[in-house]
Every structure is written in C-alpha cells, then in structure tokens.
Chain A
Amino acid sequence: MAETKEKQTYQAVIGLEFHVHLATKTKMFCGCRVAYGDSPNTHTCPVCLGHPGALPVLNEKAIELGAMAGIALNCEVASHAVFARKNYFYPDLPKGYQISQFDEPICVGGHIDVPTSDGTVRVGITRLHLEEDAAKNVHVGESGRMHGSTGSLVDFNRGGTPLMEIVTEPDIPTPEAARATANQLKSILQAIGVSEADMEKGQLRCDANVSIRNPDGSFGVKTELKNMNSFRFVEKGIAAELSRQQEIIEDGGRIEQATMHYDPATDEVYSLRSKEEAHDYRYFPEPDLLPLELSTEWIEEKKARLPELPAEMKSRFVESYDLSEYDAGVLTADRDLASFYEEVAKSADAKQSANWISGDLRALLNEEGIEISDSKVEPKDMAELISLIENETVSRSAAKAVLAKVFETGDSPSVVVEKEGLAQTGSGELDGVIEGVIADNPDEAERVRDGDKKVVGFLVGQVMKATRGNADGGRARELLMEKLGS
C-alpha cells in the first residue's frame, strides 16, 4: 500500500518538440520539388546537394506558413529574425551545417489549450523556428539491403525540405496529455493548411523531454525520447520512460541524461549509445542569407488570412449545434471528422449526429485504426441511418449493427436493413408477439397484474428475444403494461 501511495506523489514533467514539414511546393532554399515516395535523388540541385559555391535563397511561402503557424499557436511573430548555421557532420547533411534559426527565431512565446480527460491543460510554446530537413539515410546492414556493404546510402530528395521546429514548455503533466497535445497541434496545423502533418510520411515527427520532479519541486534530470512515430507511441513511449525513471528513483538510483528510443514491439525504452562528446554546434548567423524584417502590416495580413481554428470551431459547434463541450471537442479535434459532422448535420438532427459520430462511428474507426477519410461511411449514410431511427424503421440497438455493416461494406443503411432483415418489428406485429409472450408466461403475467413491476423486465426480455432484438424495448414495455393493466 505504501508503494501505491508513494507512486502517486511522483510528478511527471514532459515537454515536446515537433518537427513539421511545411506544405510548400519547393524546398526551403532552392527550387527543387518537395515530393514523397519518388525515385531517390530525382529532386536535387547544387544547393541542396551542398556543392561548393551554391547559394541558398529563402522560399517566401515557407516564411508565410511559419508565421501563420506561430500566429495560430498564439505566438509573437518576431519583427526581426535571422537564420543561423548549426555545424555538425553527418552524411545526410552535405554542407557540414544545417541552416536553422538560433537566438532570433521567427516566433516565440505562445500556447495551446489541450483538452484532456482531466480538463483543459494550457501548454506553453517556447519557440517556433524554421530550418531545412536533412536527407534520408538508408542504413545498410540493419536492413540487409546491400549485400556485403557496410555503409549508408543517402537519398537527397528530402534534403532541404522546409521544416518547422516547435518546442513546448515542460507543462505537460501526463503521457495522455502529451498525446492530446500532439493531436491538438496536428489539428491546428492541418486546419490552417501549413502542413499535411502526416506522421506516416514523416511530415510530423515528435520527440519528448521527460523527467520526474524532485521532492523539493525542482526539475529532475531529463532524458530525451526519440523515435515515436505515432501519437499512440508518444503516449506509450513516455509512459514507459516514466516508469523506467520511477523504478530507478525507487531503487535509490540516479537518472542520467540520455537519449532514449522507444520500441513499440516490446513496449520498452532503451538507451542509445552515448556520444563521447557533447554536441558543440557553434551556431553563428548564416552569412549567405539576409535577415527577415516582418512588418506589423505583413503579420496582420497573415493573421487575417487564417481560417477557423479548432478552438474557434469548437465554440461554434457548441453555439450553433447546441453540443456539449466534450462532443464539440471530440468532433473538432479532427478536421475531417468535423467536416463530416457538419455535412451530416445539414440533413439530420445535430445532437443525434454528434452522438453517433463521436460515439459509435469513432469507435469503429479506432478499432480499424483508420481515418474518416478512408472510411466507407459517407455523410449521407450517417444521415440516413439517423432518419431510419427517427421514423422507427430500425431500433437503436439494431442501428448499431447497421452502422457496423455500412462501415464494413459501404452499402447504404437502407440496403443493409433490407439485406440483413434488421427492420424494427412494426407495432401490429409487436402486438402479436406480446400476446404470445403473455400466453407463454402466465405466472409472470399474473404477477405483473398483481402489481409486481419487477417482472416486467423479464417479459420485455422475452419480447426482445422473440423479435431478435428488432423491437423497441420502451414501446414493448408500454404495451405489456397496458395489456396487463398495470
């Protein structure tokens, strides 16, 4: 018991760092196309290959998107910003430095409000800066791809892709809140169109800084957790790292600064070989690029162009559809789901639509691990299903089965009802079934007549059984009571 109590006093301190590809057509400093899945090394030029003498020129769109992201994250857009060289050697970085931003980033000091099961958590945004992505290394040996070779192979298509780094304050209290933060950030970025933020394509990557607060309230030693390639793994990876740290502390040990990797297969974290030398990036202002001077008018113009943000959309959903904060939050956390909902709500009851979409439909999506855009269910199917319930063609419980079938096959709800014989037992038919149940269960019927209401439930159960669940339970109960004069 003591252990449980002690465990509750551990307080996690979590900060996240995101790397996000900006939705530009071309790279950050050259006119090569940004493409995913194209044949290797087909989008390169002397600039992104780091040839001597090649000079970078800023992509205007990337600056705009970076500023818009900052505004959406409630950051201050700097009036003066500069790029800097971050010096290190790695084969995916042909110049020997990455062009990034250091002490004068484009945006600083914002926040996002993240809905969690414990209420809303405000997560501070420390900074947002722009940089170029590295090329892609294919490590040989691990993949076994190259027979006998022991090197790395490099594809420069990704090298130079406009990248935005977003760093949060260590304000995140739990692994679940970390996942919710990542989700919220993703939906904001998608909503304003600055990034597709598809984790599978590597357009959104997430690292975490994780520590446990010391008993005196000061920050403990933090570790950096990398390689979390889905939001689920962000949550699970951080949980695994926290329990590793907790065990060390309970055993009287000390946390050492380290870079950890999360392995989803074993649900464990492991330490990467520590580098002999601490990083020494020797940042200095990039002499090949000129400073940015962003005027108030320029910033205001970007602000005016921002579409509705998830938080604004949520308030609108609460207001105009009369939804609960929770339902509105669930629906607006996913841009596509929100549009789906609005489409359904055009022709069906707003509340019913919200219930079905945030409840059953979302459960089906989660179960399959797919997005609404990949689902076979169309907004018109959802609307039709709701009208079938309203006009009592199907019972509520049968409707769940209908939805599952629509989800599986893509057939319309009425076709499914027809095919599967899921139509609700009509009132005439129901009358007959009830007469039969009363006749088959004379003792129970008698007790109900004598005022024993507890037995009604049993009889309703018999009716449902006889109709294979296709009756409206409430209606059956009413009819039973009526017939038995109770």
Chain B
Amino acid sequence: MISEEQVRHVANLARLGLSDEEVARMGGQLDAILESIEKIQELDLENVPPTANPLRLTNVFRPDEPRPELDRDDALSAAPETSDDLFSVPRID
C-alpha cells in the first residue's frame, strides 16, 4: 500500500497541489498501477536486462553540424513573459 505521505511527497516533487480528497483518490489509483506492474514480478527475470526502449537499435547519432535555429522573436513568443530578449520567470527560492 502506498502511504498518504508517499503520495504527498511525489505530488510535491511534481509540483502538484493536491487536496486531502485528491490525496486519498490518487493513493488508490497509484496502488492499482503498482499492483498491475507487480504482475511482472511473477516471471523469472533473472537474466533479462532492464529494457528502457523497445527499439533494437544502438548508436543513433547526428553529425556535429549546425542546423537552422529559431528566430529569437519566435523563440520568445511562447513565453508568458519576456524582458530584454530574455525569458522572464518568477523568483527562485
């Protein structure tokens, strides 16, 4: 069982503000996810390396050659706030 404390910790790491009711609900949902993933543990995985990607490819590179860049105004256009050609963000604590 995932504890309420764990739910709050994970929510905090993801910068999510959850109400008490949401903490309870999410806890139940996360438990259900963990349970279904636990099914995998029933298999013998002793000699199976962890798989991060289903593609059987390695060493996919691009050459070190410059490619077109964004125009600065375009780059900044997606930002809620800008100042002096810079992205403006709230103060960091």
Contact = CB atoms under 8 A, between A and B. Distances in A.
Q: Do A and B bind each other?
A: yes
Interface of A: 24-26, 30-33, 39-46, 49, 51, 57-63, 82, 87, 89-91, 137-141, 146, 149-156, 277, 280, 282, 284-287, 289-294
Interface string B71-93: 01001101001011111111110
Contacts of B48: none
What DSSP secondary structure best describes chain B's contact surface? Answer: loop
B70 interface: yes
A24 B64 CA distance: 7
A280 B10 CA distance: 10
A60 B61 CA distance: 5
B62 A25 contact: no
B59 to A, nearest CB: 6
Given A58-B61, A293-B58, A280 B13 contact: yes
B15 interface: yes
A269 to B, nearest CB: 22
What DSSP secondary structure best describes chain A's contact surface? Answer: loop
B85 A41 contact: yes
B36 interface: no
A87 B87 contact: no
Contacts of A156: 75, 87
Nearest to A294: B59
Interface in B24-82: 50, 52-53, 55, 57-70, 72, 75-76, 78, 81
26 contacts: A25-B64, A26-B67, A32-B66, A32-B67, A40-B84, A41-B75, A41-B86, A44-B72, A44-B75, A45-B67, A49-B70, A49-B75, A58-B62, A60-B63, A63-B61, A87-B13, A91-B87, A91-B92, A140-B91, A152-B89, A153-B88, A154-B87, A282-B13, A285-B50, A289-B60, A290-B60
Contacts of B15: 89
Given A60-B61, A90-B92, A291-B58, A41 B87 contact: yes
Contacts of B13: 87, 280, 282
Contact of B72 (A41, A57, A154): A41
Contacts of A33: 66, 69
B83 A290 contact: no
Interface magnitude class on chain B = 35 or more
A150 B88 CA distance: 10
Given A45-B69, A287-B52, A292-B59, A153 B87 contact: yes
Given A32-B69, A58-B60, A59-B61, 20 more contacts: A25-B65, A26-B67, A31-B67, A33-B66, A39-B85, A41-B72, A41-B86, A44-B70, A46-B70, A51-B78, A58-B62, A63-B61, A91-B92, A141-B91, A149-B88, A151-B88, A290-B53, A290-B57, A292-B59, A293-B58
Contacts of B87: 41, 91, 153-156
Contact of B60 (A39, A57, A139, A287): A57
A290 B59 contact: yes
A104 to B, nearest CB: 10
A61 to B, nearest CB: 4
A61 B61 CA distance: 9
Nearest to B49: A80
Contacts of A137: 92
A91 B31 CA distance: 32
Contacts of A46: 70
B55 A290 contact: yes
Contacts of A45: 67-70
A153 to B, nearest CB: 4
A43 B69 CA distance: 6
Nearest to A152: B89
Contacts of A155: 86-87
A204 B70 CA distance: 28
A60 B60 CA distance: 8
Given A59-B61, A292-B59, A30 B88 contact: no
A26 B86 contact: no
A58 B67 CA distance: 14
Given A156-B87, A285-B50, A44 B59 contact: no
Contacts of B9: 280
B61 A152 contact: no
A150 B58 contact: no
Counting from the closest, the 8 A-B pairs by CB-CB distance are A31-B67, A285-B52, A61-B64, A60-B61, A153-B86, A91-B89, A293-B58, A154-B87
B83 A44 contact: no
Contact of B86 (A43, A63, A154, A290): A154
Contacts of A152: 88-92
Contacts of A146: 83-84
Nearest to B9: A280
A290 B70 contact: no
Contacts of B52: 82, 284-287, 291
